[in-house]
């Protein structure tokens, strides 16, 4: 991966994801390789577009309209690959997140005897909401397998919990018991959020790199230049198509 600094491109779009994924380390790196590749490829593509624009400006056979279309054509070509890689990286992350999330929400098998588990649930059901949640939280944090699985291994109402709260505590229990998997899940979620956020910045950076043609006219008041029209690559292509239609040979 490149660690090059290019002032033409926003620092947010430079390669590297460690700064935005807090759980990026040896445990999570194998799951984030495709994300790193997508970000790196996007940066190199932006560099390529800027380089193409600089090169087109030196071509004496191209006026500014032809330059704009040439750069836009190049940008479309290189970004088609980048957007595909970007989309696949997001899809892979989402699939792995869903799979691991399911594992961290799986039912648990109670470790206490049936009689003891029943007594534990009855005890929890008799507590008020605050003390009940505090007691369960303490059992989870201390790794009290007998208490936690007795409560979480039964129907929520048996322990006085509503289904949503039961599911939340179940997830917390799995995370406490499987910290590496929980860290991987967190890292993948951070990476997916990063790609979604950067995508908006990336498309804008591409449009800015390609540019447009601005037409100015002097103000009738003080002669200062006033923007009267912005010409985009699609507008140029449309004009070219309309112009070429006049040269069509009748059948």
Confidence of residue 3 (pLDDT cuts 50, 70, 90): low
| Residues 178 and 143 sit within 8 Å (Cβ to Cβ) | no
Whole-angstrom distance, CA of residue 43 vs CA of residue 45:
5
Whole-angstrom distance, CA of residue 46 vs CA of residue 193:
21
Section 84-96 average pLDDT? 97
| Residues 35 and 190 sit within 8 Å (Cβ to Cβ) | no
Q: What are the residue boundaries of the structural domains of the chain, listed by start? A: 11-104+180-211, 114-177, 212-251
Does residue 2 register a pLDDT over 60? no
Whole-angstrom distance, CA of residue 50 vs CA of residue 52:
5
pTM of the model: 0.81
Sequence-distant (6+) residues with CB within 8 A of 214 are 227, 229, 230, 231
Whole-angstrom distance, CA of residue 232 vs CA of residue 229:
10
Section 207-221 average pLDDT? 94
DSSP 79-99: HHHHHHHHHHHHHHHHHHHHH
Distance of CA 114 to the CA centre of its chain: 45
Whole-angstrom distance, CA of residue 58 vs CA of residue 81:
27
- 213 DSSP β-pair partners: 231
Give the pLDDT score at 139. 96
Does residue 1 register a pLDDT over 50? no
Confidence of residue 110 (pLDDT cuts 50, 70, 90): confident
């Amino acid at each position: 991966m490149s660690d090059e600094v290019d002032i033409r491109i926003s620092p947010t779009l430079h390669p590297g994801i460690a700064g935005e994924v807090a759980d990026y380390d040896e445990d999570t790196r194998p799951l984030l390789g495709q994300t790193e590749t997508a970000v790196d490829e996007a940066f190199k593509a932006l560099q390529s577009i800027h380089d193409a624009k600089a090169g087109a400006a030196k071509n004496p056979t191209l006026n500014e309209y032809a330059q704009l279309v040439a750069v836009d054509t190049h940008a479309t070509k290189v970004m088609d690959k980048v957007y595909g890689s970007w989309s696949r990286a997001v899809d892979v992350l989402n699939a792995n997140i869903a799979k691991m999330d399911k594992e961290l929400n799986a039912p648990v098998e109670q470790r206490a005897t049936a009689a003891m588990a029943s007594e534990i649930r009855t005890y929890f059901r008799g507590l008020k909401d605050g003390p009940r949640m505090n007691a369960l939280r303490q059992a989870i944090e201390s790794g009290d397998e007998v208490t936690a699985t007795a409560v979480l291994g039964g129907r929520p109402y048996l322990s006085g919990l509503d289904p949503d709260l039961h599911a939340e505590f179940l997830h917390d229990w799995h995370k406490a018991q499987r910290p590496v998997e929980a860290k991987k899940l967190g890292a993948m979620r951070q990476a997916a959020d990063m790609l979604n956020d950067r995508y908006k910045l990336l498309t804008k950076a591409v449009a800015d790199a390609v540019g447009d043609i601005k037409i100015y006219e002097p103000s009738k008041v003080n002669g200062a230049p006033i923007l009267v029209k912005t010409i985009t690559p699609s507008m140029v292509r449309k004009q070219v198509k309309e112009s070429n239609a006049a040269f069509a040979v009748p059948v």
